[in-house]
Each structure stands twice: as structure tokens, then as C-alpha cells.
Structure 1
Amino acid sequence: MSDTDLRNIEALDAHESDRIAVVTGASRGIGAAIAGRLAADGYTVAVHYRQDSAAAAGVVEKIIAAGGAAFSFAADLAAPDTGTAFWAAYDAAAGSLRDVPVRVLVNNAGIALHGTIEEFGAEDFIRQQQINTTAPFLIIQAALPRLADGGRIVNISSGATRVALPDIIGYTMTKGAIDALTLPLAQHLGSRGITVNAVVPATIDTDMNASWLRGNPDLIADIAAQNALGRIGEPDDVADVVGLLASHDARWVTGQVIDATGGYRL
């Protein structure tokens, strides 16, 4: 690709027209916040979910009510043919938009199963690996022909990769792999003007964490005290960083693993 082609890509990026963003695991929590932020920035957002169609529909309705555009589609990231099945489901839901190049792909979906190495069963390990690591790899691989030159890939990692948390050892391994994927992928896709970055949150107040976090003021205070900014993170704290990386302003940022933990255990 020539320098002129890359400048044309940047001009299109700055114009912010005809843009599709795909967000995995976007029916709640961080994914829903990312979908809302990208919609506010002018993207038509494809809201991926696994089984909670009502929650995904709620995200879409909220985006449309705010003047944005969105649609939802279901795909099981635990399926062995994740890459092809994911994009087949996307195409079925996108209608005429299926032919519009995808400008932003956010790999957010994931599961966090607890257990030390002695407690972690092989079946759970394989399932978590499939959803958190194998699925993003295969989704990106299958997406390459449809990704717009000058586009963005953003992978959601975890602050668990920065500290020792033995009770989520399997989860930490999967997110470490996401960090490791980001650097070579950025190099590989750089010739197309595609940036690839990872965003690293720590504990976020989401529905996924509600069972052990909400209603536990002592635990909330303890976690907040471990953050330099002195509070628990909110989904929008992460979504705004993703929004920046998806924007024209971040066109010269690639291959980075960006801490968005509020200063977790500095």
C-alpha cells in the first residue's frame, strides 16, 4: 500500500462516514458501554450476544433512542467453528450492511472462571480458553477480508495479567494470550493501515461481578484502595478508552497494551 493510499484511508477515517463497528459480548457490562460509546461516535454498531436476546435488544433500543444505529446478532463463541459461524450470523442480521467493510472490531466477550490450579477442571479450562482466546483469534482471522483498510481492532485484556491472582489462574492465562496476540497482529496488519491495540481494565462494576461485588461495601472499599484513583471502575471508563483507540485521533497508536485500571496496584 502506498503512502497516498494510507493518507486517503486516514481522510476517510476522519470523515467518519459509512462506518460499522462490531462488539463481541455487547449485551451488558463493558461491551454494552463500548457499543453505546461507538454509536455516539457515529458508528453503526453490531451488538453481539450469546443467548440473552432481550438484553441485546435493550442495548440496541437505547442506542437508537439516543439517535444512533445498531442491530444485534447471536453467536456462540464456544463453538469449534467460531470464526465462520460468527460472521455468518453477522451477515444474516446485517442485511444490506453485510457488504459494508467493518471499520472497528472489538473483542470484548469473555468468561472469568474461578479456581486455583488444583481446583480447575480440564473442561472449564478448555471452555474458557475457547471463549477468551481461541474465539477472538478465529474471529479476527475470518474478518480479515471484510475489515476496512485503516480500520481498528481493539482487544479487551485484564489487569489480572499484571499481578499474581492464583484463584483466577486460568483466566489470567487467556488474557495474557490476548496481550501476546496484539503485538504481532499490529505488525502484520500495519501495511493496511489497521491498528491493533489491547485495553486492560481491572475490577469493573458490572453485572458479571455483581454476585460477589455489589452489596459488599468492605470489599468495594478494599478494591478501591488498591487503585491510585481511589474507586471501582465503571464500564464507561473502559468504553471511553476504546472510543479513543477507534478514533482518528489514535491513528498513530498500534501494538500497545494500554492500562485502563485506574492505577491498579501501582
Structure 2
Amino acid sequence: METKKKIALITGGSRGLGRDMAISLAKNNVNILITYHSNANKAEEMVNEIKALGQEAAAFQLDTANTKSFDAFIAQITNHLKEHENYPNFDFLINNAGTALYAPFMQTTEKQFDEMVNIHHKGVFFLTQKALPYMNDGGRIINISSGLARFSLPGSSTYASMKGAVEVLTCYLAKELGDRKITANVVAPGAIETDFGNGRVRDDAKTNAMVAQMTALGRAGVPEDIGGVVAFLCSPEARWVNGQRIEVSGGMNL
């Protein structure tokens, strides 16, 4: 009898780190659901790329800052799964979607603060809450944090505060979901060359050189440094890893 494939839901899975997570999981024989914020064409390209690897895939629009849309979103993906898998549940939730904010503490506005709360903390909290009834027992939750929750760089106080909140939340999820054998872990990337923050690490030579200088392995990260770690945490080999923060930064600020 053929073993049923696992299914992963990755927010912000059409580009950057989320894209590599999706590819890495697909290479591990996992079917993929991704969300995108606005670029439907890019998301469809990602779906086709995953299908070319031999896995099923679908993309759904979601603004993770808009908690009022979550019920309709969950209904959309579970209906899709019932239609294509004959079963509404999935196995892995990767809360990856996010945006950057670079603003000194004294210049950060309440509007900017609220936007970061909604995207990086409130959205993660309530999307996970809405998703849990449709997650299989023995599943995995992976929340994406940042090296900035451990070390401080001026201008990131708001963003990093939200990631710190998500790290604490993850420990509570690990504790409270233990009876369902669902693990919850944090992956905290260092500075990565993507379009995140308008491509600051990737495109600004001064920033890139600064990151390389403060990193033990002597370079900025690339998306391919992260996806395999997420895929590992969704593998049977990671079944005993729970409530942990795994920083994937090449050794920044040691």
C-alpha cells in the first residue's frame, strides 16, 4: 500500500527563504501549499517548479496581517485538500511570511509598530490557532525568527521584538501540543541575500561586507542555507527536536 504523502503549508512560499523551503521539502517527497501576498504570477511559477519535482502544489493569496481573512483562507485550503487528497488535513505549518522594518527606536511610529505586530506576531498566533484543527497529530510547526532576536543591530528594535515574541510563543506551542505529538520549533536565519527589506543584504555592498565581517564563515547567507534545515525539522529524523531555537546564521556575532 502506497504511503500517503505529507503536506506542508508555507506562508510566503513564492520567493526568498520560503521558496527554498518549498523546494527542499518537495525534494523530500512532501506536497506543498504556499501563500503569496500579491504576486500571483510568481506564485504560479513556484507551483509549476514544485510539480516538475514530482510533487503536488497549489498557491493561495493571503495577507498574514489580516486575521479576519483567516477563516476563509483555512476553508479554501481544506476544500482544496478534500477535492485533491480526499482529506482536509495537512502535516506541517511553516510560518515564514514577513516584511522588514529598518527604523531607529526613537523614530518608529505606532503605525509601523502595529504593522509589525500584525504580520509577525498576531498573524502567526492566530493563523496557527486556526490551522491546528486541520493539522494531523504528529505534525510540525516551524516559526521563522531572526538572529536579531539574539543580537542587536540599531534600527531593528521593532522587528526583532516581534521575533522574540514568536520564539516565546513557540515554546508554549511545544508544551501545549505535546499530547498531540505536534512539535514546534524556531528557525532563526542570520542575514540572507534575498529581496527581503528591498534586497538590503543582497544588493548593498557595504551591508553585505559588514555581514560577512561579523560572520564566522565569512559571508552573508543565501536562501539555500535555510530550506534544508526546515526540511530536516519536518523529517522523521527530527521527531525528538521540540521547543528549540535553531539559529542558521553561519556564526554571526559569536
TM-score by length of 1: 0.89
Matched residue, 1:91 = 78
How many angstroms apart in 1 are the aligned matches of 2:166 and 2:86? 27
Matched residue, 1:168 = 156
How many angstroms apart in 2 are the aligned matches of 1:205 and 1:139? 27
Which string of whole-angstrom CA distances, capped at 9 and with x for unpartnered residues, describes residues 222-265 of structure 1? 21121111111111211111011000000001000111111111
Matching residue's letter, 1:81? K
Matched residue, 1:257 = 245
SS of 1:76's partner is: coil
How many angstroms apart in 2 are the aligned matches of 1:224 and 1:151? 36
How many angstroms apart in 1 are the aligned matches of 2:3 and 2:215? 35
Matched residue, 2:101 = 113
Indicate if the aligned counterparts of 1:91 and 1:98 stay in contact, CA closer than 8 A: no
Moved over 6 A (4+): none
Residues 199 and 215 of structure 1: CA distance in aligned 2, closer, same or farther (over 3 Å):
closer
Residues 215 and 25 of structure 1: CA distance in aligned 2, closer, same or farther (over 3 Å):
closer
Residues 214 and 236 of structure 1: CA distance in aligned 2, closer, same or farther (over 3 Å):
closer
Which one of 92, 98, 107 corresponds to residue 104 of structure 1?
92
* Structure 2 gap ranges (5+): none
Superposition pairs of residues 144-183 of structure 1, within 5 angstroms = 144-183=132-171
RMSD after superposition: 1.7
Matched residue, 2:229 = 241
Matched residue, 1:42 = 29
SS of 1:144's partner is: helix
**CA apart distance, 1:101:** 1.9
How many angstroms apart in 2 are the aligned matches of 1:245 and 1:149? 15
* Structure 1 gap ranges (5+): 1-14
Indicate if the aligned counterparts of 2:67 and 2:127 stay in contact, CA closer than 8 A: no
Indicate if the aligned counterparts of 1:20 and 1:103 stay in contact, CA closer than 8 A: yes
How many angstroms apart in 1 are the aligned matches of 2:202 and 2:135? 39
- Worse overlay, 98-107 or 183-192: 98-107
SS of 2:106's partner is: coil
Matching residue's letter, 1:151? G
How many angstroms apart in 2 are the aligned matches of 1:258 and 1:64? 29
**CA apart distance, 1:93:** 4.4
Matching residue's letter, 1:19? K
How many angstroms apart in 2 are the aligned matches of 1:265 and 1:88? 43
**CA apart distance, 1:214:** 3.4
Matching residue's letter, 1:44? N
SS of 1:46's partner is: strand
Residues 39 and 96 of structure 1: CA distance in aligned 2, closer, same or farther (over 3 Å):
same
Indicate if the aligned counterparts of 2:192 and 2:201 stay in contact, CA closer than 8 A: no
Indicate if the aligned counterparts of 2:79 and 2:88 stay in contact, CA closer than 8 A: no
How many angstroms apart in 1 are the aligned matches of 2:39 and 2:119? 16
Indicate if the aligned counterparts of 1:75 and 1:89 stay in contact, CA closer than 8 A: no
Matched residue, 2:59 = 72
**CA apart distance, 1:209:** 4.2
% identity of equivalent residues? 37
Indicate if the aligned counterparts of 2:191 and 2:201 stay in contact, CA closer than 8 A: no
TM-score by length of 2: 0.93
- Worse overlay, 225-234 or 208-217: 208-217
